[in-house]
Amino acid sequence: MVLKVFFPQCCNTADSGLLVGRWLPGHDSAVVLAVVHYPFIPGQVKKYLSQIRSQTDVELTVLGSWSMPTEGQEGMDSFLRDLSTIFPHTCWLQISREIGKRGFICNVVSNEGTLFTGKPKANSGSCNGKEDAGDSDGAERIIFIHYDQRKVMLSQLHPVHDVVQESKADASELRTMFQTVAGSQPLFLLDRYDDGPLKTTHWQSDGREASIIVELLKQASVPVCMLITWMLSVWHWLCSIRILNSRPAQFISSKLSTCVQLGYRTDHLQTVASTKKATEHMEFMRKANIFVSVLVDMALGLLLISWLYRENRIGTLANTLVPVADHVAKELQELLQWLMGAPAGLKMNKALDEVLGRFFLYHIHLWISYIHLMSPFIEMILWYVGLSACLGLTFALSVLSDIVALLTFHIYCFYVYGARLYCLKIYGLASLWRLFRGKKWNVLRQRVDSCSYDLDQLFIGTLLFTILLFLLPTTALYYLVFTLLRLVVVLFQGLIHLSVDLVNSFPLFAMALRFCRPYRLAEGVKFRVLTQEPGTPLHLLMEINPIKCSTVVQCYRTPTYSCYPKDSWGALCKKLFVGELIYPWRHKGTKAD
């Protein structure tokens, strides 16, 4: 048997006293949590431990004695050794430290007597009373694992994916050890400045960590959360109006990025303003990430407002917008006139080419008239739209996406017209091609079945197939051109949506912990030899391995529409080939909570 003793580094120089901790169930390991200093009364120690057990789920007990050589306490070792008859125990640890040595001397005593010692050539045995006659060196059978109690207390141990680092048994033992330290928080509230019958040494014995700013924020958070909750209730009451729940209003709101972002922000504020205490680690991290993301978003929005409303940049942007729209419309007119001729020397169907060209030119004419009609009000609209940035940068970007969608609405209409016409011809040709092969599509069974056609049906099918086949190049050319234009707009809007999603979902608080306090998010531990002196057990130092940055993002990111599966590149190319409408930035299914 190898006995592992997890010993806190803060207790290496503690005064002599009793070791308080826990034996890990199912493992030959003990976790030392604190040292109770002499002088003390055993009855007071038992009462104090019973109070701690009632506040936690950890079965704390007296593990043994700790002896630190000091002047005037020469007989302390024998006194502490006799205390093993007072406190109930299965194994009693007698740990002492000699002057001039970094290593400890450890004797393990049970009710039946000494089992084995940290000194060489001692009797060997185990905590269950069984002896191992083959081992003659007891020092090699005791391992001290020194750990930083503060880091272990504040860290969250995540599952280790690399099986090479540690086995499942070691992972279970380490997880139990981490949970023991984290669950013993009431034990760490007693420091040396408190008036009481007991004096202890642990990671907060020199004074508990406190911050006046943190305490003030905690006191102010309650009324602020109540105010936010009341404002959200008013907002939900306004949204419950019947006219806003009608089908046209819901359809329009689902297409506007600003409304989608408003829904996400409402859910985020509800999560942050919830009065329910976050007891679980993931729940706390989600609240903290959302809170930090909202603060950073609003700070960036205020910076954008200060830039926009300085030096009359709103007026400059409004004066530039109309000429840019006219230039885009002029370029589209020239493109359509080029398509109505002989583009790239291609032979087009002149009648269909003229009909499609004039149809699209008429839409451009209507759009130019609409832009010039709205030009006197553009500056005022942009002035009020810029105020939306006070709600956050994501709102400003969402409004920008909606403005781009409105300014390029004519391109979207061209794409829809061309795609629908092209899709109709593609599906018509596919259906007529099955007619030639004596097949038909069974709508009920969703499969292709055999079918016999008469002569008239074959004649009409051949005629329609020929017409659609010869008109397909002209339709495909218009579809190709307007699809490319639509993809440029979609790409720009996709970049905007990715930026909004990055601010909404990126775990800023978790990443700050990863860089500032990497031990808070632990993936595992590593050990290095601290000291190995003759006549003393092996001493190891346990260091915490922080999780990778990619794992932090994957584990703690806030769910948004980018977290849902989208169409693959193959499915997207298939939709483009058959003429189906594409919205690659939209998520599938219901919006995430």
DSSP string over 225-281: HHHHHHHHHHHHHHHTSGGGGSHHHHHHHHH-HHHHHHHHHHHHHHHHT--S---SH
What pLDDT shows up at residue 299? 92
Which residues, in sequence order, are CB contacts of 293 under 8 Å at separation 6+?
A: 268, 503, 504, 506, 508, 558
Is residue 219 assigned to a domain?
Answer: no
Low-confidence residues of the chain: pLDDT under 70: 1, 70-78, 99-100, 111-140, 158-171, 192-195, 208-215, 218, 244, 561-567, 583-593
What pLDDT shows up at residue 589? 43
Is residue 438 assigned to a domain?
Answer: yes
Is residue 7 assigned to a domain?
Answer: yes
Is residue 413 assigned to a domain?
Answer: yes
Is residue 299 assigned to a domain?
Answer: no
Whether 46 and 187 share a structural domain: yes
Q: How far apart are CA 106 and CA 128, in angstroms?
A: 17
What pLDDT shows up at residue 127? 57
Six token digits for residue 94? 């007698």
Final residue in a domain of this structure, among 201, 219, 240: 201
Final residue in a domain of this structure, among 201, 228, 260: 201
Is residue 119 assigned to a domain?
Answer: yes
Cis amide bond preceding 39, omega within 30: yes
Final residue in a domain of this structure, among 158, 179, 201: 201
- 109 within 8 A of 100, measured Cβ to Cβ: no
What pLDDT shows up at residue 65? 86
Q: How far apart are CA 81 and CA 147, in angstroms?
A: 26
Is residue 343 assigned to a domain?
Answer: yes
Q: How far apart are CA 490 and CA 583, in angstroms?
A: 8
Cα Rg of the chain (Å, integer): 37
What pLDDT shows up at residue 31? 92
What pLDDT shows up at residue 57? 81
* 61-67 and 17-23 strand pairing: antiparallel
- The parent domain of residue 382 ranges over 308-506+557-578
Is residue 496 assigned to a domain?
Answer: yes
- Tokens 């030899």 sit at which residue? 529
How distant is the alpha carbon of residue 45 from its chain centre?
44
Q: How far apart are CA 442 and CA 450, in angstroms?
A: 9
What pLDDT shows up at residue 169? 55
What pLDDT shows up at residue 591? 41
Q: How many domains does the chain have?
A: 2
What pLDDT shows up at residue 75? 57
